[in-house]
Amino acid sequence: MINEGLEPERANKELANDLAMAFRIKKVACEYETQRKKYISEAKERQKAVNLLEKKKKLKDIEAITGLSQRQILELRYEYIVSQILNGVHPRDIVNKLNISYSVYKKARNLYITREIIKGISKNDLAERLKVQPEVIEHRKYTYVIEALEKKESVDDVAKQVGCSKNIITDIYILHEIKKNTDVKSLAVQFNCSEKKF
């Protein structure tokens, strides 16, 4: 026994500490195992959703079969489209494989470009990944933000999709509008601020 030769009171404290530590270790191990099983289950559902997307199933059907939310399924579809783009699959093949419109494909591609540019990836690196000219990246770097805001999506939603602050989204849009020679007064009204900010 580990506690041999110790005074009885001290031995009892040591034993209590050892038991408490063993209990904590067992509790952590159980929590880990629960999380691992949950992760595996979610991974299986995600893979099932991707397989159903490839089989051209409707989003509502996939939602019912997998139990994933529509937002999760849309994010999976986005990730799948991006992975196909990065693997060099032709846009027409992606559109046909997932039974989506070309505009859905373009939206996913533009969102990817915007996210990567905001993360700080250089235009040249991104162009190399996507196998396009750097001028294409320059032209499309903020297309997602501009198109989303022109379709009257909220700045909050766009910022959440892109993964950045509302200020960055607002700045991107204002710069775009200023380049188009949009009236500063209308921008001030649109963003509830003074003209002096511009």
Q: Which of 102, 78, 75 is nearest to 91 (CA)?
A: 102
Q: Which of 110, 178, 117 is nearest to 145 (CA)?
A: 110
> How confident is the prediction for the chain on average, in pLDDT?
84
d(CA 46, CA 39): 10
Q: What is the mean pLDDT of residues 156-171?
A: 91
Q: Which of 73, 137, 135, 129 is nearest to 104 (CA)?
A: 73
**pLDDT recorded at residue 2:** 53
Joined tokens for residue 112: 């990817």
Q: What is the mean pLDDT of residues 161-169?
A: 91
pLDDT category at 36 given cuts 50, 70, 90 is: confident
pLDDT in tens, 65-93: 888 888 888 888 999 999 999 999 999 99
- Flag whether pLDDT at 1 surpasses 80: no
